[in-house]
Amino acid sequence: MSKTPSTIEKTILDYEQIISSFRKWKVRGAISVKPTQVGMSINQKTCLANFERLIDSASKSHVFVWIDMESSEHTDETIELYYALFSRYERLGIAIQANLKRSHEDIQDLVRHGGKIRIVKGAYRENSKIAFKTRKEVDENYLNIMKTLFKDANEFGIATHDSKLINHAVELSKKYPKKFEFQLLKGIRDELKPDLVKQGFIISDYIPYGTNWLPYSIRRLRERKRNILLLGSSFIQSHKV
């Protein structure tokens, strides 16, 4: 989270440098931005203006931009931000969290507007009144959302390291061929990625960048305890190589 104009400006400059590097090195990549990194903690107007600046840079380099979803206190503002920007920049997507009870309705509305969606499980601690608390409930909601995306959406991302959900996505893709990609963290489930590529699927490796990479990585690991074991296994395999 960035709260001062100087830290926000530094964040934007970092993203612009990444975008420039993509163009220079001909990298097929995307950037993923949290609204509080670029001004939402100040006000919505500042955040919108800074996203417009990033999108201007991204459009010149044909770089896709993902708007990350944060804790539930920012959900409405983030979706409003997405709608405001998507009308002007098509290569823009938004993350939606399966642990929130409202998310299936949000997905349906976004799909009706042609939105591009990344479905994640969600890693923020939320109140049981608004969020599913058990793994079973979250997985069931994730699967229901995924079914809606395959049936009705045009372009989306499946962001999970869960083998059962990945297998469900593979099966759904046979029935509903759509433009989508699997999104996984660099270093987690690396043994799975080559097999998915061989099957013809697109894989995006997510790489935390910058000085605040640690809190993000901890949330991703805490999201599913097995991720810690998977990451440790990847380190061991890399060391053997």
**By the 8 A CB rule, do 149 and 106 touch?**
no
Beta-carbon-side half-sphere exposure of residue 34 (alpha carbons within 13 Å)? 17
Number of Cβ within a 10 Å radius of residue 201: 17
CB 206 within 8 A of CB 184: yes
Catalytic residue, candidates 53, 106, 112, 118 = 118
Strands of the sheet containing 179-185, edge to edge, are: 30-33, 64-67, 92-97, 116-120, 155-159, 179-185, 202-206
CA 232, 137, 216, 5: dihedral to nearest 10 degrees? Answer: 180
| Token reading at 143 | 């699967």
Q: Which of 68, 106, 139, 162 is catalytic?
A: 68
190 is catalytic: no
Does 76 participate in catalysis according to the annotation?
Answer: no
Catalytic residue ranges: 68, 118
